[in-house]
Chains A and B, each alone.
Chain A
Amino acid sequence: MKKVLALMLVAMLLAVALTACKKADQKTEEPAAAVEETVEEAAEAPAEEAEPAEESKPESSARAEIKVYNWEDYIDREVLNLFEKETGIHVNYVTFSQNEDMYTKLSTGAESYDVVIPSEYMIERLIKEDLVVELNLDNIPNLENVVDNLRDPIYDPGNAHSVPYMWGTLGIVYNTDMVTTPVTSWTALLDETVEGKIFMMDSMRDTVAIGLIMNGSSVNSDDLDELEAARKWLLDQKDSGVVDGYILDQAKDMMAGNEAAMAVMYSGDALYAMEKNDKLAYVIPDEGSNIWVDGMCIPKTTQNQEAAEQFINFMCRPDIAKMNMDYIYYSSPIKQVVEELSEEELASTAMNPTDEMVKRCEYYVDISSFKNAGVYDDIWMDVLM
């Protein structure tokens, strides 16, 4: 019996020792958790053919790693392989589906990320709450490539904490076979005569924004009456039974597969669906909408700021930005890429909205310090639950 106890003790000690080892190793080799996807190194190219890799490979034998936290479906994975090949820095790539999810993960500080890519209003909040580091812009010379109107933004003066990754708008995608009169207004989302499904977004800010716009308010309203009017609009819409669901990434595939008539969507997802189904159209409604920028930031918890800056710089390289844009269909903020847009891309509302369209759109600002910030949440819960 004593033997058994001794054996158990040994086993427990071993277990403790092993976990301790793992902790020590974590910096260089994080054990891949179930949800995390590690990028496989592209094996096809033999060593001598990968010329750029030779010059820039760091001398140190220890493999550096950065953890990148980005939106779902928001990168060309090949870009990560290229980055790894050129710099020798391994990318541990994880995704989120909403800014708010990302914020929860980041603010608890339980996990450390090296690069995160949230939207402008969330960046504003992260800066306010001191959760992101000040960038060493000397390490990001490619910031020069960013178009002028996205440099030095209001939410982050001087790009001290963030570098734009992609930008776009919020609008309605509809199937011109199922919705025969051209959509110009958000009121189309109330049309009960539409044969086919209508989807709203599973995203607090974007859905509440529509309620606010429909009552002539700013998408950043802190006025209780305006917010209540927005709540009423959204609940009336829900109760009328016209909404078939509140979803995110599934929407683009449903639209592409003729499974839905209309969906609220970000411009890039819209373009993705339109590439697959030429009966689809994207519109930024007349009443106005939201325009947004997603930016790359480095959280305070970073383990390797320099490598993270290297990554941000890499993403701003014209050829890489182009690869990304062609893959995810969002608009790149990189000058050289914009200059090379094709006729077709320039004519696309989703890729390149006209100045007039942009003018009726509004950026979100961080509402966390608003008097009625809780009302946004309350409205959204009423809509969802």
Chain B
Amino acid sequence: MKRSWYASPYALWMLLFAVVPLLFVCWYAFTTPDGAFTLANFQEFTKPRYMGVILRSLKLALYCTALCLLIGYPTAYFLAGRGFNHAQSLVVLILLPMWMNLLLRTYAMMTLLDDNGVLNAALTALGLGKVRVIGTEGAVLMGLVYNYLPFMVLPIYTVLKKMDYSVIEAAEDLGCNPLRVITRVVIPMSVPGIVSGVTMVFMPAVTSFAISTLLSNGKIRLAGDLIDYIFNQSSNPNRWNIGSSFSLIMLVLILLSIGFLRKVDPDNEGGGMW
């Protein structure tokens, strides 16, 4: 028996719940409600408001990915360090929030950042003025970073952990100062992890929904919210068709960015899941 047979349950699963639905999306995207072929669904998105939503989603996802990298890389580097013995338990701590539902975490975030929430109570107690966080783009960004940070830390941590420590020792022996060890040895060798982390944060961030609506009191909506709105609330008789075409546009955007990242990490060493 061929070894590839072992994957058949998964293949069946994918066929039923990924390929078939995707075909449905394609079908709806290119047809009218009567089933006739059309491209008009895509024309809908030349309207400026949709471009605005897409640009806003891309911008926030980029900021989110950059912040996650800035916070996540040093964390992963610290965790993977040789002198540190409690890495496993800390990794569990990083994973811990992910055991909770994303919406619950976002509601918790609302309580923390609210005008009369924990953050402002603390600021007031310290004699500092209140800050208005909820309802701003900053709040949405914080929500995204909070929710997706673990996806950045883990792949980088895995790659750094696998790294042969003797390479670093060799660099040090040859007279490299600590900063150069990091910039010339550690970072280049962890590129696969970075690529994987960037993909795993950027993808869900650019398509995220609900987080933005909740943390902005419904003022800032992202691409995911738009698709959700079109499918669920719009009174447009073509809503499934337009929603599908927009989903396809997002899909293509994501495929393009994956293609771009593949160029950076052709062997996919980061163990990327995407």
Chain A contact residues, CB within 8 Å of chain B = 1-2, 4-5, 8, 12, 98, 100-101, 104, 197, 199, 202, 204, 243-247, 250, 257-259, 367-368, 373-374, 376-377, 381-382, 384-385
Tell me which of B52, B53, B135, B235 has the highest count of chain A C-beta atoms within 10 A of its own C-beta: B235
Q: How far is the CA of A295 from the CA of B225 in the complex (A)?
A: 30
Q: Which residues of A have CB within 8 Å of B233?
A: 98, 100-101, 104, 204
Q: Which residues of A have CB within 8 Å of B32?
A: none
Tell me which of B1, B115, B218, B232 has the highest count of chain A C-beta atoms within 10 A of its own C-beta: B218
Asked if A104 meets B116 with Cβ closer than 8 Å, knowing A244-B217, A247-B218, the reply is: no
Does B153 reach chain A (CB closer than 8 Å)? no
Q: Which residues of B have CB within 8 Å of A5?
A: 1, 5
Asked if A12 meets B9 with Cβ closer than 8 Å, knowing A245-B216, A245-B217, A247-B217, the reply is: yes
B232 touches A101 (CB 8 A): yes
A384 touches B115 (CB 8 A): no
Q: How far is the CA of A244 from the CA of B136 in the complex (A)?
A: 10
Q: Which residues of A have CB within 8 Å of B177?
A: none
Q: Which residues of B have CB within 8 Å of A373?
A: 235
Residues facing A in B89-108 (CB within 8 A) are none
A244 touches B49 (CB 8 A): no
Q: Which residues of A have CB within 8 Å of B1?
A: 1-2, 5
B135 touches A245 (CB 8 A): yes
Q: Which residues of B have CB within 8 Å of A204?
A: 233, 235
Name which residue of chain B comes closest to A1, CB basis: B1
Q: Which residues of B have CB within 8 Å of A258?
A: 116
Residues facing A in B210-250 (CB within 8 A) are 216-219, 221, 225-226, 229, 231-236
A100 touches B226 (CB 8 A): no
Name which residue of chain B comes closest to A245, CB basis: B217
Q: Which residues of A have CB within 8 Å of B217?
A: 199, 244-247, 250
Q: Which residues of B have CB within 8 Å of A199?
A: 217
A384 touches B229 (CB 8 A): yes
Name which residue of chain B comes closest to A251, CB basis: B217
Q: Which residues of A have CB within 8 Å of B52?
A: 385
B235 touches A368 (CB 8 A): yes
Asked if A246 meets B219 with Cβ closer than 8 Å, knowing A1-B1, A381-B49, A385-B50, the reply is: yes
A221 to chain B minimum Cβ distance, whole angstroms, is 15
B side interface size, CB within 8 A: 26
Q: Which residues of A have CB within 8 Å of B49?
A: 381-382, 385
Does B265 reach chain A (CB closer than 8 Å)? no
A243 touches B235 (CB 8 A): no
Complex A-B: 7 CB contacts under 8 Å = A1-B1, A100-B232, A197-B115, A246-B217, A250-B217, A385-B221, A385-B226
Asked if A202 meets B218 with Cβ closer than 8 Å, knowing A381-B49, A382-B49, A385-B226, the reply is: yes
B218 touches A245 (CB 8 A): yes
Q: Which residues of B have CB within 8 Å of A197?
A: 115
Q: How far is the CA of A257 from the CA of B6 in the complex (A)?
A: 58
Does B114 reach chain A (CB closer than 8 Å)? yes
Asked if A104 meets B231 with Cβ closer than 8 Å, knowing A202-B218, A374-B236, the reply is: yes
Task: Render B1-29 as a binary contact track against A, CB cut-off 8 A, 1 for contact.
Answer: 10001100100000000000000000000
Q: How far is the CA of A245 from the CA of B50 in the complex (A)?
A: 20
Return the 6 tightest CB-CB contacts between A and B, nearest first: A245-B217, A246-B218, A100-B233, A377-B235, A245-B218, A385-B49
Q: How far is the CA of A211 from the CA of B235 in the complex (A)?
A: 18
Q: How far is the CA of A4 from the CA of B8 in the complex (A)?
A: 13
Given A246-B217, A377-B236, A385-B50, 9 further pairs, Cβ under 8 A: A1-B1, A4-B6, A100-B233, A100-B235, A244-B219, A245-B216, A246-B218, A258-B116, A381-B49
B116 touches A376 (CB 8 A): no
Q: How far is the CA of A197 from the CA of B114 in the complex (A)?
A: 12
Q: Which residues of B have CB within 8 Å of A257?
A: 116
Identify A259's interface contact among B6, B114, B232, CB under 8 A.
B114
Q: Which residues of B have CB within 8 Å of A368?
A: 235
Q: Which residues of A have CB within 8 Å of B231?
A: 104
A235 to chain B minimum Cβ distance, whole angstroms, is 10
A384 touches B116 (CB 8 A): no
Q: How far is the CA of A120 from the CA of B1 in the complex (A)?
A: 63
Q: How far is the CA of A101 from the CA of B232 in the complex (A)?
A: 6
A41 to chain B minimum Cβ distance, whole angstroms, is 27
Q: How far is the CA of A12 from the CA of B233 in the complex (A)?
A: 38
Q: Which residues of A have CB within 8 Å of B234?
A: 100, 377, 381
Asked if A243 meets B229 with Cβ closer than 8 Å, knowing A377-B234, A377-B235, A377-B236, the reply is: no
Task: Render B186-221 as a binary contact track against A, CB cut-off 8 A, 1 for contact.
Answer: 000000000000000000000000000000111101
B239 to chain A minimum Cβ distance, whole angstroms, is 9
Q: Which residues of B have CB within 8 Å of A2?
A: 1
Name which residue of chain B comes closest to A8, CB basis: B9
